[in-house]
Amino acid sequence: MEKPEPARGPDGAVRPGTNSSSRSASLSSSNTDEIRSQSDAEATVPGHELDVELGEIRGTSELEKIGTRESARSKISRILSAASGRSKGGLRHEPIPITDLDAGIVGWESQDDPAYPMNFPAWKKWLLLGLVSLVTLTTPFASSILSPAIGSVGKEFHNTSETVGAMTVSIYLVGYVIGPLFMAPLSEIYGRRLVLASANVFFCVWQIGCALAPNMAALIVFRLLCGIGGAGCLTLGGGVIADLFRTDQRGFAMGFWTLGPLFGPVIGPLIGGFVVETIGWRWDFWIVLILGGVIVVTLEIFNRETNHRILIKRKVARLRKELGRDDLRSCYEDGEGPTKLQILVHGLVRPMKLLVLSPLVFFLSLYVAFVYGVLYLLFTTIPTLFEEVYGFSVGLTGLVYLALGLGNFTGWLVITLYSDKSVVQLAKANGGKFLPEMRLATSIFFGFFLPITFFWYGWCAYYKAHWIATILSLIPFGFGIMGIFLPIMTYLVDCYPIYAASAIAANTVLRSLVGAFLPLAGPAMYQSLGLGWGNSLLGFICVGMIPLPIIFYKFGGKLRASQSFTL
């Protein structure tokens, strides 16, 4: 007799309590079909309920009906799986897939399995997140540390083109476009730990090339390679968070991790300004190499694998050998599972598929990309404005970036303290049902702060207002960008938790493309429109993008439900 197809949850894994043939015999066929239909309906909609009804496991009285063919190990796993606890907010979570050896399925041992990354002790979760966040601070820091040295590099290499000079900074972000396309699928084959470590070594090696670059062309090529290696943390960080943290804890964790992509580019010019003024621009890269080398060693010692699929895949291999059962398979796979080549190809295609076929991924990523791009555009105007108009030294100009940092920190503080609380409140008001769109509520408010900076900064620069007024104008942008970046990134992870790395990769690709090439258009735009109207144009675009989070907050659920493509 053919075994029934096991029902699957939103993460694609076999749902506990519905995969045993003996259990099917104990239930009427109509009840079984009803349960399967309900599970299949839930699986078609990305996102999940925090208040998951565990009606499929109705206590030990029903477990007693399970036939003698089920192993003792499977029985214990089923009993423990019924005891999934509530979170601190009093909300239940989706049960994790457990082992059912009779059905040949290998999963976790129970809902409290200590090997399951979401069950790691708090100190271990935050250690792993801290390591990834440290890398995520370092590589964006390396992206902008050269900004104050553009003039010095041009003089040494006899370059007079502003566009070529800006390319030494922006080409790094092109590496952020290439890297994620390979690192996301490679992490599904070899795990996040190995891929992240390899990317960091690659990143460090090419810092040496940059420090010893003999000409402008070599420097640009080496910076591109640095960017490819530096993309590892940006690609895999969101996946690590999805592995470790449940939905009602994820907002704060994302807030901690996103400090890097937003604070790193701000800290880079601050330090880079004093470096180029004192010991020369080549030391920018030696400093990054030293910092990166320390991180490589630290990751090798303390980092651990968190990818659920990889951990279960390794468990399957171990049990096949121990039990002599080649029929065992992962709870996350059907049949034999894809080959490495298939995983790589699908992983390369998946981010592009999300960008092209998912309106919510494309438009929200476009919003983040534009904001990220104008951040780097601001970086190219600050040295020219404050050194030529206000007479600042290179080192003093680096301090101007502290205004952006102050805005970043204030925005981060507000969003991380408020994000998870607001989501829990909205979920409770919705009958305990969590929807990913609840993440976007806060970003609506922050969107109004972005245009303020461009109108204020642009006209202060145009009329040569007092330098303090021009510096203060950068704070609203720093504040607003945190409230846009963080909720949208968390939203993408919540929408596609099992493919979080691919969702973040899609966002990173578009964001980095805009960040790389928008600053190259800056000199021509400001030459034609001036700082006043040039920045006002950017402000008007920011105003036009304010409705995007509102639209997806209201209609994102319907768009997800109507999603017809497979990942």
CA dist 474 and 484 (Å) reads 16
Residue pair 360/41 in contact by the 8 Å Cβ criterion: no
Please report which confidence band the pLDDT of residue 80 belongs to, taking 50, 70 and 90 as the band edges.
Answer: very low
pLDDT at residue 207 tops 90: yes
Q: Is 63 exposed, middle or buried (0-12, 13-18, 19+ CB in 10 A)?
A: middle
pLDDT per residue as tens digits for the range 538-557: 999 999 999 999 999 999 88
Cα angle: 387, vertex 391, 392; to 5 degrees: 65
8 φ, ψ (degrees, to nearest 5):
-125, 150
Report percent pLDDT > 70 for the chain: 83
Q: In the structure, what pLDDT confidence band is assigned to residue 22 with cuts at 50, 70 and 90?
A: very low
pLDDT at residue 24 tops 70: no
Question: CA 262 to CA 335: how far, in whole Å?
Answer: 43
CA–CA separation, 185 vs 193, rounded Å?
13
What pLDDT, on the 0 to 100 scale, is given for residue 184?
A: 82
Q: Residue 35: what pLDDT? A: 35
3-state SS record for 122-140:
HHHHHHHHHHHHHHHHHHH
Does 81 score more than 70 pLDDT? no
Q: What integer pLDDT is reported at residue 240 of this predicted model?
A: 92
Residue with tokens 């806060």: 442
As a three-state string, the secondary structure of 60-122 is HHHHCCCCCCCCHHHHHHHHHHCCCCCCCCCCCCCCCCECEHHHCEECECCCCCCCCHHHCCH
**Of the candidate ranges 102-106, 145-149, 246-250, 444-448, the one whose mean pLDDT is the lowest:** 246-250
Whole-angstrom distance, CA of residue 529 vs CA of residue 398: 26
Name, of 74-88, 368-382, 537-551, the range with top average pLDDT.
537-551
Q: What is the pLDDT of residues 109-132, one digit of tens each?
A: 998 999 999 999 999 999 999 999
Residue 289 pLDDT > 60, yes or no? Answer: yes
The pLDDT, as a whole number, for residue 67 is: 39
Annotation: CATH topology of 117-307+351-561: Growth Hormone; Chain: A; (1.20.1250)
Max mean pLDDT among 25-29, 72-76, 416-420, 553-557 falls in: 553-557
pLDDT, the chain, mean? 81
Q: What confidence score (pLDDT) does residue 203 get?
A: 96
Domain boundaries of the chain, sorted by first residue: 117-307+351-561
Q: How confident is the model at residue 452 (pLDDT cuts 50, 70, 90)?
A: very high
CB 457 within 8 A of CB 470: yes
What is the DSSP track for 473-500? TTHHHHHHHHHHHHHHHHHHHHHSGGGH
pLDDT digits (tens, 9 = 90+) for 325-366: 988 999 888 766 677 888 888 878 888 888 888 888 999 999
Say whether pLDDT at 51 is over 60: no
Terminal C-alpha separation, the chain: 32
Q: Which long-range contacts (CB under 8 A, 24 or more apart) does 497-500 make?
A: 497/10, 497/11, 497/48, 497/242, 498/10, 498/11, 498/12, 498/242, 499/350, 499/567, 500/238, 500/239, 500/241, 500/242
Closest CA to 344 of 184, 151, 139: 184
* Amino acid 93: pLDDT: 65
- Amino acid identity, residue 373? G
Residue with tokens 């101007």: 400
Which stretches of 191-282 are DSSP H helices? 192-211, 216-244, 247-257, 259-278
Backbone φ and ψ of 106, nearest 5°: -110, 120
pLDDT at residue 530 tops 60: yes
